[in-house]
Amino acid sequence: MRQIAVLVLGGIFFATLAAQANPDSISRMKRHVNTLTQPAWQGRATGVGAPLAAEWLVLRLDELGLEPAGDDGWFVSHQVPVDLKAKSTFQMGAKTLAPDHEFQVLGFSDDLEYSGDAVFVGYGISAAHLGHDSYQGIDPAGKVVLAFTGIPKGLELGVRDEHLASLESKAAVALAKGARGIVFINDPRAHGDGADEREDKLALPNVELPLKGIAALRISERVALEVFADMGADLAAMQAEADSNSPSPLSVELRLTLQIERSFAESQNIVAKIPGGRGPTLMLAAHYDGLSQARAGKDYTGADDNASGVAVVLELARRLSKDPIQNRDVYVVFHDAEELGLYGSRRTAHWLKARGKEGKLLNLDMVGRLRESGLRFHGNAEECLQAQKSGKFTKVEIACDQPAASPSDHWPYLRLGFEAVSLTTGRTVDYHQHTDRAEKLNFPGMLQVTGFAEHYLRAQAD
């Protein structure tokens, strides 16, 4: 049995090497990337250039002989929010804050008109099983709360608890406790001018559906320092107390009016099938949408993020359609609206689960910058061992990380109980910048990624 397995894996290895030696693969991927990054498609933003990319992708899949496997043909469609306009006034203490410069309305915020005290609740985390409750002894009902971003010093969150650090999770906790609004303060320990610190700025938020019943805003550390200094409070001391789960009672007078208008567009997720058999389903995915040019600049084309992943998945689909994986159906999925907050993968994961198509997902997101450090693989320890075996056979260095360490389209699948892993060559200085151009991609490296991914997928059927 073991000898047969070695022969099978060896066959996969030599087939992969033969495919990698084919210069046509590189030529095709270059053509795909050049098409996806053409200026007329405006970065493939959802509702803007993404519909044009979707039409083109369906033609490519049809040419390869894949079967349409969506709701009505190729697509699993839904409406997603794509733009947010907020009318707001915000005063903390004696300071009136300037929108977008000193405070930012978050994409999941609801409307609010409020005048009264805002109370400090440390990090805004309530998790008895971890021994931390920022709300201990505090009744936030009917009020606005103030909370640091991030997590307390010394608190370790496992994969199952990492969501507790998200702003949405903290807002949901505040809502459940009766708060009407939450104002996040950039974590002073994580923001600043240090080499290991993030810039103390307010990034343009994702546009999301509102978390009904609670307003959500964010202020910089600099603004918080100014506001609390006027009150005689020390931000560093406040954080130290919050770390020890004993924040001192503190409140600040706050006046806020917030009216939000959202616009929506149709999002089209593409689902195709390569029939192979009755065994557990395999899924191969990449998001084809890009960041809007309103966020990334008018020349943004999204070459690495994620035209590279789409090109590799198309090349894999070509190989698998010619030589299907025995006893496994393979679903090829191109997600839309990843850049808006994983909307496409959330929708498609639920859609697949409802149809009993639970299995293993391999997600590719930004795979165009392969370097000597190799390919980063996000999966559990057992999956990592499998990946390293495939890496050894295909001569690709594999660096392993936890599944949740990469916020990409495998997340919604993981949360619904799918096995899901993700590949990336990592972020670069061009991430979400107009400098993310096709000419910077490592196409021979993308071919190596293709070979690795094919070997890894075929090994799942052994």
Q: What is the pLDDT of residues 268-300, one digit of tens each?
A: 999 999 999 888 899 999 999 998 887 777 889
198, 230, 262: which is the final residue of a domain?
262
Residue 406 has pLDDT above 80, yes or no: no
pLDDT level of residue 43 (50, 70, 90 thresholds)? very high
Assign residue 192 a region (left: φ > 0; alpha: ψ between -120 and 50; beta: otherwise): left
CB atoms within 10 A of CB 290: 31
Q: How far is Cα 106 from Cα 211, in angstroms, rounded to an integer?
A: 10
Residue 73 lies in a domain: no
- Across the range 38-51, mean pLDDT stands at 95
Give the pLDDT score at 197. Answer: 60
91 in the same domain as 60: no
Q: How far is Cα 57 from Cα 62, in angstroms, rounded to an integer?
A: 9
292 in the same domain as 160: no
Q: How far is Cα 184 from Cα 253, in angstroms, rounded to an integer?
A: 16
Integer CA distances (angstroms), 24 to 27, 341, 448, 456, in order: 5, 35, 14, 22
Note if the bond before 306 is cis, omega within 30 degrees.
yes
**Residues 125 and 132: beta-carbon distance below 8 Å:** yes
Residue 165 has pLDDT above 60, yes or no: yes
Residue 269 lies in a domain: no
Mean pLDDT (the chain, rounded): 90
pLDDT level of residue 393 (50, 70, 90 thresholds)? very high
Query: Where would I find the beta strands (DSSP E) of 279-438?
Result: 281-287, 330-335, 359-364, 375-378, 398-401, 419-424
Phi, psi torsion values for 33, nearest 5 degrees:
-65, -40
**Look-up: residue for tokens 């990336």?**
424
Higher pLDDT, 207 or 49: 49
Residue 18 has pLDDT above 50, yes or no: no
- Across the range 40-59, mean pLDDT stands at 97
pLDDT level of residue 112 (50, 70, 90 thresholds)? very high
Residue 99 has pLDDT above 50, yes or no: yes
296 in the same domain as 232: no
Residue 40 lies in a domain: yes
What SS3 state is found at 272? strand
Give the pLDDT score at 7. Answer: 33
Q: How far is Cα 411 from Cα 345, in angstroms, rounded to an integer?
A: 8
206, 232, 262: which is the final residue of a domain?
262
443 in the same domain as 396: yes
319 in the same domain as 229: no
Q: Which domain holds residue 158?
A: 82-262
Residue 98 lies in a domain: yes
224 in the same domain as 284: no
Higher pLDDT, 410 or 207: 410
Give the pLDDT score at 21. Answer: 54
Closest CA to 278 of 319, 350, 323, 326: 326
Beta-ladder partners of 257: 89, 113
228, 262, 296: which is the final residue of a domain?
262
CATH number at residue 235: 3.50.30.30
pLDDT level of residue 390 (50, 70, 90 thresholds)? very high
Residue 268 lies in a domain: no
Give the pLDDT score at 189. Answer: 86
Give the pLDDT score at 279. Answer: 82
Q: How many domains does the chain have?
A: 2
pLDDT level of residue 146 (50, 70, 90 thresholds)? very high
346 in the same domain as 302: yes
151 in the same domain as 105: yes
Count the alpha carbons within 13 Å of 286 in the hemisphere toward its beta carbon.
27
Query: Euclidean distance between the first and final Cα of the chain, in Å?
Result: 11
Q: How far is Cα 75 from Cα 150, in angstroms, rounded to an integer?
A: 37
What is the rounded radius of gyration, in angstroms, for the C-alpha atoms of the chain? Answer: 24
111 in the same domain as 61: no
Residue 5 has pLDDT above 60, yes or no: no
CB atoms within 10 A of CB 201: 12
Q: What is the pLDDT of residues 422-461, one digit of tens each?
A: 999 999 999 999 999 999 999 999 999 999 999 999 999 8
Residue 419 lies in a domain: yes
Q: CA 326, 329, 333 angle in degrees (round to 5)?
A: 135
Give exposure, 35-61, as e/b (b: 16+ Cβ within 10 Å): bbbbeebbbbbbbbbbbbbbebbbebb
- Residue 69 burial (10 A CB sphere; 0-12, 13-18, 19+): buried
What SS3 state is found at 360? strand
355 in the same domain as 304: yes
114 in the same domain as 39: no
CATH number at residue 294: 3.40.630.10
Residue 74 lies in a domain: no
Give the pLDDT score at 72. Answer: 81
304 in the same domain as 255: no
Q: What is the pLDDT of residues 247-264, one digit of tens each?
A: 778 889 999 999 999 999
